[in-house]
Structures are given as structure tokens and as C-alpha cells.
Structure 1
């Protein structure tokens, strides 16, 4: 009360008015800084809650410069692992299919091997584009050690031994036996090995359908299950008559 009285009775010259205005400006700035600081703290706290609430393995794909995002939306570790494992799995199927040229005798084996190559090569490119958009390596590296247990370091699918963690993969011995066969013997070996190979792909695709998050990856998994299940039935029928 005393302060208010003294201020109201103080001389109101230019200097006093400037001093009063300065005090008011400083007080207003202090209130503004306090409010901003409170907002920043709240925002940072919310950011921390958001990051903590979402799994570190989850992210969103970014479109390549000047291009369309090949796998838009969120993705998780299951999506990444699906692509990283299915690429070498498909590559081995391409290698197996290529052997049919000059070795296969059965017309259906020749036709089916060409269809497998025609379907799986574009799928490899799709999955590579996803990994690039997700900022992930093509190989799982230390996570899965695709083929690293063989010690060869080769990128060839056939060099990945059965211990690579990918179901249905042929061993080097399997591939050598297929390469050495001809005619009806090749047809039988090819059908049986490809049935096992396809079953492994279906198993991985089923895992992606169950655990994956990215819609594009899950769609391809659906296609793998449908397409390769049909081919398993066809190969089984061929094997039965050979």
C-alpha cells in the first residue's frame, strides 16, 4: 500500500515515465520467458514420452530423392528381416532356375523354372528398394550372419549353408548335385529341392504376415504365400509322375 501511494504521488516527469516503462517491459519479458520455458519443458517431456512409448525398432520409410516411396508408412524389425532374408532366398531360387536351361527334360519343369525366375527377380528389386528407403543394409550382418558361418563371404545364395537361419536353403552339396544332374534325374532333384525351398519361403512369409507392420511388405508376403504354395502343389504333382 505504501509503494502504491508513493508511486501515485511521485513526480511524473519524462525520466520517471521512461523508468516506469522500462520496469514494465522487463517484467513482461520475464513473464514471457517463463511461459516459453514452461512450454518447452512440456513439449520436451511429451517428446520423451513419445520416443519411449514407441519401439526403437519401428520407423517410417523416406522416399528417395526425386522418387516415390517404395514402402510408405511405418515398418519394424520383422519387415526389415523379411526383406534381408528373402533377398538371398530368392537369389538362390534364381540360381536353381537358371540350371534348368540345358539340363531339364520335362516341359513343365522348364516352364515352371522360367515362371519362378520371372516372378522372383522383380521381387528382389522391390525388397532392395525398401531397405534403401528404410536406411537398412541389404544384409542383416551380425544380426543373422547370412552365409557368414560358411566363411566364404560370397553373395551367392547357394553359398549360404543351412545354418544361415533361412529355412529351405540348399547347401553347397545340394547345388553341386543339381548342377551335375541331367534329364529326368535333374527334373526330380529340381522338383524336390524347389519344394523344400518354397516351403522355407512360405514359412518366412507367414512370419512376416504375423509380425510385420509395413503394408507393402505384408502384401508381398501374402503374394509369396499364395504363389509359392500353388507352385509347391504343381511341383508335387510333377514329382509324382516322374
Structure 2
């Protein structure tokens, strides 16, 4: 009976030592986990700015697609007016090519947004976002009211401004985007529309 107290003290020390070892191991394990995150680039600091976790796209990609869809839609509307209003055969041909190129691109842009799980329009709509080259409603009405040579010149002038806006948006996507398909489409848009701007400038010079 006299020896029971030392035995109890030894048992308590043994339990305390074991608990300390468990705490120490847990702490070491936690350090290894953090270290592993650092080495694999899993920390927020290692992620690209605006990148979505576990995805290959970022905010720039989403903005590009959401803005380019209505931008293309307006260009298609302008091109459709040329079918019945243009007086110059080259203007009609160019307008048809613009529509033929941009209709499928709208489908592609919608497809990227669907793949990313993003809406077609940003929250709150497009009113709070500036789209370079978008034609004001007054200019659209002027274009709708014109025919023949007047339409040809106005269409070319307005479409040049519109195209330059799309080229700017495409350049931004190539510089800031992350999605390979979106960046490839931006490159295609930029190349095609630069060539069309040159062609429309020649049309204006000729008219």
C-alpha cells in the first residue's frame, strides 16, 4: 500500500509523456502538410490572379466571352442590313462574310461559358461594363435609314470602329486570359478583323 503512490506517479508521467509525443507528431504532420502545399503550388499566392480553383480559366476569360457575345450580335445585325440596303457588291460580300464568321463564334463563346459554369451575361447585365466599339442606338438608326452609296460608306465607317473595339478586346484576352480555347478564338478574331478593317478602309477610299 505504501508503494502505490510512486507507482501512480510513474503511470501519470508515462501517460503525460505519451500525450506529449502525440501532440508533437501531430504538429510535425501539420508542418509536412503545409510544406507539401507550398511545394505543389496549392496556396492562394501561387494561383494566377483571378483564376478559378481547379480550373483552367480565369475572370478575364469569362469577361471576354460575356462581352464579345453582344458585340458580335451587333455586328451580325449590321451585316444583315447590308443584304437589302447595300449598293456596292463588295460591301454586300464583306457583310455576308462577317455574319458567316461571327455567328459560329457566338456559339463557341456560349459553349465556353457553359463549360465554365458561367452565365451568358454578367451579374447586373452589361450596363455596368464598357464594350469598346459598340455602336450607339442613334448610329444604328442612321444605318437602318440609309441605302445605296450612303449605306455603304456609313456601314464601312461604323464597322471599322466596331471591329477595332473587338480587336482591343481580343488583345486583352490574349494577354490576360488563361483558357487555351478562348485565347485561340481571340487570336482568330483579331487576325480576321484586322484584315477586314483594311478591306473596309479601301472600300471607303474607293467610294
Band of TM-score, shorter chain: 0.7 to 0.9
CA distance in 2, matches of 1:131, 1:41: 39
Instruction: Give 5+ residue unaligned stretches, structure 2.
Output: 1-20
- The structure that has the greater radius of gyration is 1
Q: Deviations over 1:5-25 (max 9, x none)?
A: xxxxxxxxxxxxxxxxxxxxx
Q: Provide the TM-score with structure 2 as the length reference.
A: 0.80
| 2:119 corresponds to 1:137 | yes
Q: Tell me, what secondary structure is at the counterpart of 2:114?
A: helix
Q: Deviations over 1:49-87 (max 9, x none)?
A: 5245324721378xxxxxxxxxxx611111111111111
Match of 1:85 in 2: 67
Aligned match for 1:108, one of 90, 94, 109: 90
Higher RCO (C-alpha 8 Å, min separation 6): 2
Aligned match for 1:74, one of 56, 61, 65: 56
Q: CA RMSD in A?
A: 3.3
Match of 2:9 in 1: none
CA distance in 2, matches of 1:99, 1:33: 76
Name whichever of 40-49 and 110-119 sits farther off: 40-49
Matches within 5 A, 1:1-242: 39=29, 42-43=32-33, 50-55=43-48, 57-59=50-52, 74-142=56-124, 145-146=125-126, 148=127, 164-242=129-207
Q: 1:92 to 1:60 in 2, by over 3 A?
A: farther
Instruction: Give 5+ residue unaligned stretches, structure 1.
Output: 1-30, 62-72, 150-163
How many residues align? The count is 195
Q: Provide the TM-score with structure 1 as the length reference.
A: 0.69
CA distance in 1, matches of 2:49, 2:189: 28
